[in-house]
Amino acid sequence: MTRQTRSQPTGTPAPTHTAVPTHTAVPTHTAVPTHTAAPTHTAAPTHTAAPTDTTARTGTSEPVAALARPAGTFAMVAMDQRDSLRTMMAEHTGTPRDDIGDARMTAFKLSVARALGPYASALLIDRRYGFRELLDQRILPGTCAPVLAVDTLTQEPGGPVTDTALDPAVNPAAAATAGVRALKLLVIWRRDRHRDSRVATAARFVELCRAAGLASVLEPVARPTPEEEADGSFRLNDAIVEAAAELAPLRPSLYKCQVPDGGAGTVSGLAAEAARIDAVVDVPWVVLSQGVDPAAFPRAVEAACRAGASGFLAGRALWTSALGAADPEAALHGPCAERLRALGEIVDRHGRPWWDARPAGTRRGGDTA
Protein backbone atom coordinates (compact mmCIF):
# COMPACT_ATOMS: atom_id res chain seq x y z
CA MET A 1 0.00 0.00 0.00
CA THR A 2 1.57 3.31 -1.12
CA ARG A 3 1.07 6.34 1.08
CA GLN A 4 1.82 10.00 0.54
CA THR A 5 3.42 11.50 3.61
CA ARG A 6 4.29 15.02 4.57
CA SER A 7 7.99 15.70 4.82
CA GLN A 8 9.38 16.38 8.25
CA PRO A 9 11.71 19.37 8.73
CA THR A 10 15.06 18.43 10.19
CA GLY A 11 17.44 20.08 12.58
CA THR A 12 14.96 21.11 15.27
CA PRO A 13 15.54 19.25 18.54
CA ALA A 14 12.41 17.90 20.25
CA PRO A 15 11.93 19.19 23.79
CA THR A 16 10.81 16.93 26.58
CA HIS A 17 7.38 17.08 28.21
CA THR A 18 6.85 19.78 30.78
CA ALA A 19 7.60 18.43 34.23
CA VAL A 20 4.55 17.34 36.18
CA PRO A 21 3.90 19.75 39.06
CA THR A 22 3.81 18.48 42.60
CA HIS A 23 1.20 19.13 45.29
CA THR A 24 -1.37 20.19 42.73
CA ALA A 25 -4.97 19.59 43.70
CA VAL A 26 -6.24 16.18 42.63
CA PRO A 27 -8.23 16.61 39.39
CA THR A 28 -11.26 14.88 40.88
CA HIS A 29 -13.94 15.71 43.38
CA THR A 30 -13.19 12.62 45.45
CA ALA A 31 -10.11 12.25 47.63
CA VAL A 32 -7.74 9.47 46.60
CA PRO A 33 -6.11 7.50 49.43
CA THR A 34 -2.34 7.45 49.67
CA HIS A 35 -0.47 4.14 49.76
CA THR A 36 3.11 3.19 50.44
CA ALA A 37 5.19 3.47 47.31
CA ALA A 38 7.24 0.60 45.93
CA PRO A 39 11.04 0.84 46.22
CA THR A 40 12.79 2.95 43.60
CA HIS A 41 15.52 1.96 41.16
CA THR A 42 17.92 3.83 38.96
CA ALA A 43 16.10 5.08 35.90
CA ALA A 44 17.01 3.58 32.53
CA PRO A 45 18.14 5.86 29.70
CA THR A 46 15.29 7.74 28.10
CA HIS A 47 14.50 8.92 24.61
CA THR A 48 13.60 12.51 23.83
CA ALA A 49 9.89 13.14 23.68
CA ALA A 50 8.10 14.71 20.77
CA PRO A 51 7.25 18.37 21.28
CA THR A 52 3.76 19.38 22.30
CA ASP A 53 3.94 22.39 19.98
CA THR A 54 4.51 20.81 16.58
CA THR A 55 4.00 23.93 14.48
CA ALA A 56 7.57 23.77 13.18
CA ARG A 57 7.09 20.16 12.17
CA THR A 58 3.57 19.96 10.77
CA GLY A 59 2.12 23.45 10.65
CA THR A 60 -0.30 22.57 13.47
CA SER A 61 -0.23 22.25 17.24
CA GLU A 62 -1.93 19.07 18.44
CA PRO A 63 -2.28 17.79 22.04
CA VAL A 64 -1.62 14.23 20.85
CA ALA A 65 2.02 15.19 20.18
CA ALA A 66 2.64 15.06 23.93
CA LEU A 67 2.06 11.29 23.86
CA ALA A 68 4.40 10.55 20.96
CA ARG A 69 7.98 9.51 20.43
CA PRO A 70 10.29 11.72 18.34
CA ALA A 71 9.40 9.66 15.26
CA GLY A 72 5.72 10.54 15.72
CA THR A 73 4.80 7.03 16.86
CA PHE A 74 3.42 5.77 20.17
CA ALA A 75 4.84 3.23 22.64
CA MET A 76 2.50 3.62 25.60
CA VAL A 77 1.93 1.56 28.75
CA ALA A 78 -1.57 0.85 30.07
CA MET A 79 -1.74 0.54 33.85
CA ASP A 80 -5.39 1.50 34.43
CA GLN A 81 -6.72 -2.01 35.12
CA ARG A 82 -8.80 -2.18 38.27
CA ASP A 83 -10.63 -5.35 39.34
CA SER A 84 -9.05 -7.13 36.38
CA LEU A 85 -5.61 -6.49 37.89
CA ARG A 86 -6.77 -7.87 41.24
CA THR A 87 -7.89 -11.06 39.47
CA MET A 88 -4.64 -11.33 37.51
CA MET A 89 -2.53 -10.87 40.64
CA ALA A 90 -4.51 -13.58 42.40
CA GLU A 91 -4.16 -15.99 39.48
CA HIS A 92 -0.42 -15.46 39.05
CA THR A 93 0.53 -15.50 42.72
CA GLY A 94 -1.91 -18.06 44.10
CA THR A 95 -3.22 -15.49 46.57
CA PRO A 96 -6.98 -15.35 47.20
CA ARG A 97 -8.58 -12.36 45.46
CA ASP A 98 -9.90 -10.99 48.73
CA ASP A 99 -6.34 -10.83 50.06
CA ILE A 100 -5.13 -8.63 47.19
CA GLY A 101 -5.56 -5.24 48.83
CA ASP A 102 -5.67 -1.80 47.26
CA ALA A 103 -2.20 -0.93 48.59
CA ARG A 104 -0.68 -3.96 46.89
CA MET A 105 -2.29 -3.08 43.56
CA THR A 106 -1.14 0.52 43.84
CA ALA A 107 2.42 -0.51 44.68
CA PHE A 108 2.56 -2.73 41.59
CA LYS A 109 1.28 0.06 39.35
CA LEU A 110 3.91 2.45 40.66
CA SER A 111 6.60 -0.19 40.19
CA VAL A 112 5.53 -0.55 36.56
CA ALA A 113 5.68 3.22 36.14
CA ARG A 114 9.22 3.38 37.56
CA ALA A 115 10.51 0.48 35.49
CA LEU A 116 8.77 1.12 32.16
CA GLY A 117 8.24 4.87 32.25
CA PRO A 118 11.75 5.61 30.93
CA TYR A 119 10.97 3.57 27.79
CA ALA A 120 7.36 4.68 27.29
CA SER A 121 6.08 7.76 25.49
CA ALA A 122 3.02 7.82 27.79
CA LEU A 123 1.57 5.88 30.72
CA LEU A 124 -2.14 5.39 31.37
CA ILE A 125 -3.40 5.08 34.95
CA ASP A 126 -6.72 5.26 36.79
CA ARG A 127 -7.44 7.77 39.53
CA ARG A 128 -8.17 5.22 42.29
CA TYR A 129 -4.98 3.18 42.28
CA GLY A 130 -1.82 5.25 42.09
CA PHE A 131 -2.68 8.39 40.16
CA ARG A 132 -2.14 10.78 43.06
CA GLU A 133 1.13 9.10 44.02
CA LEU A 134 2.32 9.08 40.42
CA LEU A 135 2.10 12.86 40.29
CA ASP A 136 3.12 13.73 43.85
CA GLN A 137 6.22 11.54 43.74
CA ARG A 138 7.12 12.68 40.20
CA ILE A 139 7.66 9.07 39.20
CA LEU A 140 7.47 9.50 35.45
CA PRO A 141 10.37 11.05 33.56
CA GLY A 142 9.64 14.14 31.49
CA THR A 143 9.64 11.98 28.35
CA CYS A 144 6.61 9.95 29.50
CA ALA A 145 3.24 11.73 29.47
CA PRO A 146 0.62 10.90 32.12
CA VAL A 147 -2.76 9.78 30.75
CA LEU A 148 -5.78 9.50 33.06
CA ALA A 149 -8.61 7.02 32.59
CA VAL A 150 -11.99 8.72 33.01
CA ASP A 151 -14.21 5.65 32.67
CA THR A 152 -16.24 4.01 35.42
CA LEU A 153 -16.51 0.26 34.89
CA THR A 154 -19.42 -2.12 35.28
CA GLN A 155 -17.69 -5.34 36.28
CA GLU A 156 -18.52 -8.28 38.50
CA PRO A 157 -15.60 -9.46 40.71
CA GLY A 158 -13.44 -11.75 38.61
CA GLY A 159 -15.42 -11.08 35.45
CA PRO A 160 -14.94 -8.91 32.36
CA VAL A 161 -15.98 -5.28 32.02
CA THR A 162 -19.53 -5.30 30.64
CA ASP A 163 -20.20 -1.56 30.33
CA THR A 164 -18.63 1.83 31.02
CA ALA A 165 -19.58 5.46 31.63
CA LEU A 166 -17.82 8.79 32.00
CA ASP A 167 -16.57 9.30 35.55
CA PRO A 168 -18.39 12.41 36.84
CA ALA A 169 -15.74 12.93 39.51
CA VAL A 170 -13.00 13.79 37.00
CA ASN A 171 -12.52 17.46 36.13
CA PRO A 172 -10.65 17.66 32.80
CA ALA A 173 -9.48 21.25 33.35
CA ALA A 174 -8.07 20.38 36.78
CA ALA A 175 -6.42 17.28 35.32
CA ALA A 176 -4.69 19.44 32.72
CA THR A 177 -3.49 21.82 35.43
CA ALA A 178 -2.08 18.87 37.38
CA GLY A 179 0.06 17.80 34.42
CA VAL A 180 -2.12 15.20 32.72
CA ARG A 181 -1.68 15.27 28.93
CA ALA A 182 -4.60 13.10 27.81
CA LEU A 183 -7.76 11.37 29.01
CA LYS A 184 -8.92 7.88 28.00
CA LEU A 185 -12.43 6.45 27.69
CA LEU A 186 -13.18 2.75 27.29
CA VAL A 187 -16.38 1.93 25.37
CA ILE A 188 -17.81 -1.61 25.27
CA TRP A 189 -19.24 -1.76 21.75
CA ARG A 190 -22.03 -4.17 20.79
CA ARG A 191 -24.64 -4.43 18.08
CA ASP A 192 -27.49 -3.66 20.45
CA ARG A 193 -30.05 -0.95 21.22
CA HIS A 194 -27.54 1.13 23.21
CA ARG A 195 -25.34 2.06 20.26
CA ASP A 196 -26.65 5.62 19.97
CA SER A 197 -26.11 6.34 23.66
CA ARG A 198 -22.54 5.04 23.46
CA VAL A 199 -21.81 7.30 20.52
CA ALA A 200 -23.27 10.24 22.44
CA THR A 201 -21.08 9.46 25.48
CA ALA A 202 -17.98 9.15 23.31
CA ALA A 203 -18.77 12.43 21.55
CA ARG A 204 -19.16 14.20 24.90
CA PHE A 205 -15.81 12.77 26.03
CA VAL A 206 -14.00 14.02 22.92
CA GLU A 207 -15.50 17.49 23.34
CA LEU A 208 -14.60 17.65 27.06
CA CYS A 209 -10.98 16.83 26.20
CA ARG A 210 -10.91 19.37 23.39
CA ALA A 211 -12.27 22.09 25.67
CA ALA A 212 -9.59 21.33 28.29
CA GLY A 213 -6.76 21.28 25.75
CA LEU A 214 -6.13 17.57 26.35
CA ALA A 215 -5.68 14.73 23.90
CA SER A 216 -8.60 12.28 23.79
CA VAL A 217 -7.89 8.55 23.61
CA LEU A 218 -11.03 6.64 22.63
CA GLU A 219 -10.92 2.86 23.19
CA PRO A 220 -13.82 0.85 21.80
CA VAL A 221 -13.67 -2.88 22.59
CA ALA A 222 -16.00 -4.99 20.46
CA ARG A 223 -17.98 -7.70 22.23
CA PRO A 224 -20.77 -10.04 21.06
CA THR A 225 -24.38 -9.64 22.09
CA PRO A 226 -25.88 -12.61 23.97
CA GLU A 227 -27.63 -13.62 20.75
CA GLU A 228 -24.40 -13.51 18.72
CA GLU A 229 -22.63 -15.50 21.40
CA ALA A 230 -25.38 -18.11 21.45
CA ASP A 231 -25.60 -18.63 17.69
CA GLY A 232 -21.88 -18.20 16.96
CA SER A 233 -22.45 -15.38 14.47
CA PHE A 234 -19.98 -12.91 16.04
CA ARG A 235 -16.91 -12.18 13.90
CA LEU A 236 -14.30 -10.16 15.78
CA ASN A 237 -12.64 -8.56 12.76
CA ASP A 238 -15.93 -7.39 11.28
CA ALA A 239 -17.00 -5.97 14.65
CA ILE A 240 -13.71 -4.08 15.09
CA VAL A 241 -14.17 -2.42 11.69
CA GLU A 242 -17.85 -1.67 12.29
CA ALA A 243 -17.09 -0.08 15.66
CA ALA A 244 -14.34 2.02 14.08
CA ALA A 245 -16.63 3.21 11.30
CA GLU A 246 -19.16 4.26 13.93
CA LEU A 247 -16.87 5.93 16.48
CA ALA A 248 -13.73 7.18 14.70
CA PRO A 249 -15.72 9.92 12.88
CA LEU A 250 -16.05 11.59 16.31
CA ARG A 251 -12.43 12.65 15.70
CA PRO A 252 -10.68 11.63 18.93
CA SER A 253 -7.01 12.59 19.09
CA LEU A 254 -6.10 8.90 19.16
CA TYR A 255 -8.20 5.82 18.38
CA LYS A 256 -7.29 2.63 20.25
CA CYS A 257 -8.62 -0.72 19.09
CA GLN A 258 -8.23 -4.47 19.27
CA VAL A 259 -5.81 -6.45 17.12
CA PRO A 260 -7.56 -8.44 14.37
CA ASP A 261 -7.72 -12.20 14.89
CA GLY A 262 -6.44 -11.76 18.44
CA GLY A 263 -2.94 -11.40 16.99
CA ALA A 264 -2.88 -14.96 15.61
CA GLY A 265 -1.49 -15.42 12.11
CA THR A 266 1.22 -14.07 9.86
CA VAL A 267 2.31 -10.45 9.59
CA SER A 268 0.91 -10.22 6.08
CA GLY A 269 -2.40 -11.80 7.04
CA LEU A 270 -2.85 -9.58 10.09
CA ALA A 271 -1.82 -6.51 8.11
CA ALA A 272 -4.47 -7.25 5.49
CA GLU A 273 -7.14 -7.34 8.19
CA ALA A 274 -5.74 -4.25 9.93
CA ALA A 275 -5.91 -2.37 6.63
CA ARG A 276 -9.69 -2.61 6.92
CA ILE A 277 -9.46 -0.59 10.14
CA ASP A 278 -7.19 1.97 8.52
CA ALA A 279 -9.67 2.42 5.70
CA VAL A 280 -12.34 3.78 8.09
CA VAL A 281 -10.17 5.62 10.65
CA ASP A 282 -8.94 9.10 9.68
CA VAL A 283 -7.15 9.87 12.96
CA PRO A 284 -3.97 8.31 14.36
CA TRP A 285 -4.71 4.84 15.74
CA VAL A 286 -2.98 2.32 17.96
CA VAL A 287 -3.65 -1.22 19.15
CA LEU A 288 -4.16 -2.74 22.58
CA SER A 289 -2.85 -6.09 23.79
CA GLN A 290 -5.81 -7.64 25.64
CA GLY A 291 -6.57 -11.06 24.19
CA VAL A 292 -3.21 -11.30 22.41
CA ASP A 293 -0.57 -13.82 23.46
CA PRO A 294 2.33 -11.68 24.77
CA ALA A 295 4.74 -13.66 22.59
CA ALA A 296 2.68 -12.76 19.51
CA PHE A 297 2.26 -9.09 20.36
CA PRO A 298 5.41 -7.79 18.61
CA ARG A 299 4.26 -9.46 15.38
CA ALA A 300 0.76 -8.04 15.84
CA VAL A 301 2.13 -4.53 16.40
CA GLU A 302 4.31 -4.77 13.30
CA ALA A 303 1.34 -5.94 11.22
CA ALA A 304 -0.93 -3.15 12.46
CA CYS A 305 1.77 -0.55 11.84
CA ARG A 306 2.41 -1.83 8.33
CA ALA A 307 -1.31 -1.28 7.71
CA GLY A 308 -1.28 2.30 9.01
CA ALA A 309 -1.29 2.18 12.81
CA SER A 310 1.01 4.50 14.74
CA GLY A 311 1.89 2.22 17.64
CA PHE A 312 0.31 0.70 20.73
CA LEU A 313 -1.14 1.40 24.16
CA ALA A 314 -0.72 -1.92 25.94
CA GLY A 315 -0.54 -3.37 29.41
CA ARG A 316 -0.85 -7.14 29.69
CA ALA A 317 1.67 -7.94 26.96
CA LEU A 318 4.27 -5.81 28.74
CA TRP A 319 4.08 -6.53 32.47
CA THR A 320 2.01 -9.70 33.06
CA SER A 321 5.14 -11.87 33.36
CA ALA A 322 6.22 -9.85 36.41
CA LEU A 323 3.07 -10.69 38.39
CA GLY A 324 4.15 -14.22 39.24
CA ALA A 325 7.90 -13.67 39.13
CA ALA A 326 10.03 -14.55 42.15
CA ASP A 327 11.41 -10.99 41.97
CA PRO A 328 8.79 -8.77 40.29
CA GLU A 329 11.04 -5.71 40.43
CA ALA A 330 13.85 -7.52 38.62
CA ALA A 331 11.37 -8.79 36.01
CA LEU A 332 9.99 -5.31 35.39
CA HIS A 333 13.40 -3.67 35.09
CA GLY A 334 14.80 -6.55 33.03
CA PRO A 335 12.70 -8.56 30.55
CA CYS A 336 9.65 -6.28 30.68
CA ALA A 337 11.65 -3.11 30.04
CA GLU A 338 13.55 -4.82 27.22
CA ARG A 339 10.27 -5.94 25.66
CA LEU A 340 8.99 -2.37 25.67
CA ARG A 341 12.25 -1.03 24.25
CA ALA A 342 12.11 -3.54 21.39
CA LEU A 343 8.48 -2.70 20.67
CA GLY A 344 9.45 0.96 20.47
CA GLU A 345 11.92 0.09 17.72
CA ILE A 346 9.18 -1.78 15.85
CA VAL A 347 6.77 1.15 15.88
CA ASP A 348 9.47 3.58 14.81
CA ARG A 349 10.43 1.30 11.94
CA HIS A 350 6.94 0.46 10.68
CA GLY A 351 4.45 2.88 12.23
CA ARG A 352 2.83 5.88 10.57
CA PRO A 353 3.81 9.16 12.28
CA TRP A 354 0.77 10.77 13.85
CA TRP A 355 1.27 13.90 11.76
CA ASP A 356 0.70 11.86 8.59
CA ALA A 357 -2.86 11.16 9.71
CA ARG A 358 -5.48 13.87 9.37
CA PRO A 359 -5.41 16.22 12.40
CA ALA A 360 -8.34 15.97 14.80
CA GLY A 361 -11.08 18.38 13.76
CA THR A 362 -10.96 17.63 10.03
CA ARG A 363 -12.77 15.08 7.94
CA ARG A 364 -12.19 13.34 4.64
CA GLY A 365 -11.94 15.93 1.91
CA GLY A 366 -10.39 18.51 4.27
CA ASP A 367 -13.63 19.84 5.77
CA THR A 368 -13.37 21.12 9.32
CA ALA A 369 -15.51 19.25 11.83
Strand partners, 76: 122, 313
**224-257 per-residue burial string, b: 16 or more CB within 10 A, e: under 16:** beeebeeeeebebbebbbbbbebbbbbbbbbbbb
Residues 6+ apart with CB under 8 A from 296: 263, 264
Burial 121-145 (b: 16+ CB within 10 A, else e): bbbbbbbbbbbbbbbbbebbbebbb
Distance CA 229, CA 20 (A): 45
Dihedral (CA of 338, 343, 344, 345) sign: positive
Spatial separation of the C-alpha atoms in residues 360 and 274, rounded to whole Å:
21
User: Is 184 a known active-site residue?
Assistant: no
Single out the catalytic residue among 47, 132, 256, 333: 256
CB burial of residue 200 (10 Å; 0-12, 13-18, 19+): exposed
Which of 320, 259, 292, 284 lies closest to 77, judged by CA?
320
Q: Which long-range contacts (CB under 8 A, 24 or more apart) does 196-200 make?
A: 198/247, 199/246, 199/247, 199/250
214 burial (CB, 10 Å; 0-12 / 13-18 / 19+) is buried
- Rounded Cα distance between 362 and 262, Å, is 31
Which secondary-structure segment (H or E) carries 75? strand 74-79
Q: Is residue 290 exposed (0-12), middle (13-18) or buried (19+ Cβ within 10 Å)?
A: middle
Which H/E stretch holds residue 115?
A: helix 102-116
Residues catalogued as catalytic = 256
